Structure 1
C-alpha cells in the first residue's frame, strides 16, 4: 500500500525552535536565481544542451576538458558575480549544517560554517593524476582553457592536465563528504531539502535515512517532483519559493523580529 499523500500547502511546516537540529540538503534550484539554472527537467541544461551532458562523462577525459572549462567555469563565474541568494543567507543565519549538491561555493560565501559538497567544487582546479594532491582556487572567467579561469593547463607539481574539481558521471562522490552527510541525516531532528529533485542517488537516500531515524523531512521547491518516492521520503512538501520561505523561517528561529529584513529584498 502506498504511503499517504504528503501535505503540499505553503504553510505545511514551520520549524518550532532553534533547539531543533535542522539540516539542509540543497540542490541547483537554490542557486538558480544567480542565472546558473538547473540541470534536469525540460528547461534544464542537459535538455537544452545535450552536447554538454556528453562532455560530463569521465571516460571522455581529457578530450572533454575544453567543454568542462566552458561549462563549469561559466557557472563559477555566475556565482562569483551574483553572490549568494536570500535563501543561502537565511540558511547561514539559522546556523544549520548544509549538505549540498551544488558546486558554486555560495553557502560558504553566505556564511555557513559546515558545508559538505557532494558533487565537488567548480571554484577549484585540481590535478587529473589521482596520485597528485595539487589544487588551487580559480578566478572564473569565460572560455575553454584553464588559463581563462586563472589556472595552468598543466599541473605545476607533476605536469598532468588540470581540470575543474567537479564530480562527473561515472565518478565516485567524495567519500568523506558522503560519510559526514549520512551522519548528519541520522542525527537530524528536521531535514529540509531545497531546490533538488530528490531522485538523484546517492544524495536521494539522505531524506529517507533521516526519516528512518525519526527526523521530520521537508521538501521546498517551486515545482516539486511528485510520485511514490517523494511521498515516501518527505513528511511535508511545500510548493513555494525558497527565497521567501527560508527568510521567513530565519526570522522565526533567530528572532529577526519586525522592521526591514535584508533577506527579503529583491535579489539583483
Structure 2
C-alpha cells in the first residue's frame, strides 16, 4: 500500500531509468560490499585481491569469491525489486555483477562493473568471453570454464571489473545515454559514492529528470541527498512492486515474488 505523501510515478513519466547497487540484491544473500557489514570489511583479504595489479597471483581467490557470488545469484534468483523493474519495462544501469536484472526479464541492462556470470581472457586485447556454470572452488574448471583461453592460451578470469581497471566503455556510454534521456531517474540500493556511477543522477537531473533515491538507509550527508528530488527511506522490495501495480492498475502480490 502506498505510504501517504510518498512520491509515486505517474503516467507523465514516460522514460523511467533505474540505477541499482548491491542493496537491491542483498536479500538473496549476496550482501553489500561497503560499510561495517560489507564484504570488504568482513573479508579484507578479498578486498586486497580485487586490485588488478595483483593479477595473476590472485586468480584463485577471484574465482572462489566471484564463483560463489554467481552461484548464490543463480540459486536464489531475482528479488521482488528486480521483478518490478522488469515488469515496468524500464532500462537499468547497474553496479551489480549478479545478472539478476536479466534473470528477472529486463532487456536493457548496462553492467558498469562487469559480470560474475561470465569469464574472459586475462589478456585485455583478447575478445574471448564465456558463460560460467557457477560452482565451488578456486579453479576456473570448478565453474565450467577452461583454465586457459581457447583463443590465445592466456589464463581465464572472472569478467568483473577490478580496482584500477577501466569500466566497459560500451556499458558506460549506454548508462550516460540513458541518464540523459530519463524523465524519472531512480537510484536503488546504492551508496552514491562510487564514480562514475555517482555522476549519473546529477546528469539526469541536469537534463530535466525527476530524481529519486530508494534505500532503507539513505546517506545522512545532505550534500549526497541534495541531488535527489525525493528520498524514500523504505524497502525497495515493497516500494517498487507498489509502483508497478499502481502504474499497471493491478492489485495484490505477484506469485512471481517469492521473498
- Taking structure 2 as the reference length, the TM-score comes to 0.96
Match in the other structure for 2:102: 108
Deviations 1:105-139 (A, max 9, x none): 11011000100000001000100112211111000
**Are residue 117 (structure 1) and residue 102 (structure 2) matched?**
no
Match in the other structure for 1:146: 140
Conserved? CA contact 2:119–2:158, under 8 Å: yes
Aligned-partner Cα distance in 2 for 1:30–1:201: 19
Conserved? CA contact 1:189–1:216, under 8 Å: yes
How is 1:51-90 mapped onto 2 (pairs within 5 angstroms)?
Answer: 51-90=45-84
Q: CA deviation at 1:225?
A: 1.1
Match in the other structure for 2:123: 129
Aligned-partner Cα distance in 1 for 2:37–2:232: 21
Q: CA deviation at 1:12?
A: 2.9
Stretches of 4+ aligned residues off by more than 4 angstroms? none
Conserved? CA contact 2:30–2:69, under 8 Å: yes
Q: CA deviation at 1:259?
A: 4.0
CA change 1:156–1:234 in 2 (3 A) is: same
Aligned-partner Cα distance in 2 for 1:14–1:107: 22
CA change 1:18–1:142 in 2 (3 A) is: farther
Match in the other structure for 1:232: 226
Conserved? CA contact 1:21–1:189, under 8 Å: yes
CA change 1:135–1:35 in 2 (3 A) is: same
Q: CA deviation at 1:232?
A: 2.4
Conserved? CA contact 2:78–2:101, under 8 Å: yes
Note the aligned Cα RMSD (angstroms).
Answer: 1.4
In structure 1, stretches of 5+ residues that fail to align are: 1-8
Q: CA deviation at 1:228?
A: 3.3
- Taking structure 1 as the reference length, the TM-score comes to 0.93
**Are residue 199 (structure 1) and residue 204 (structure 2) matched?**
no
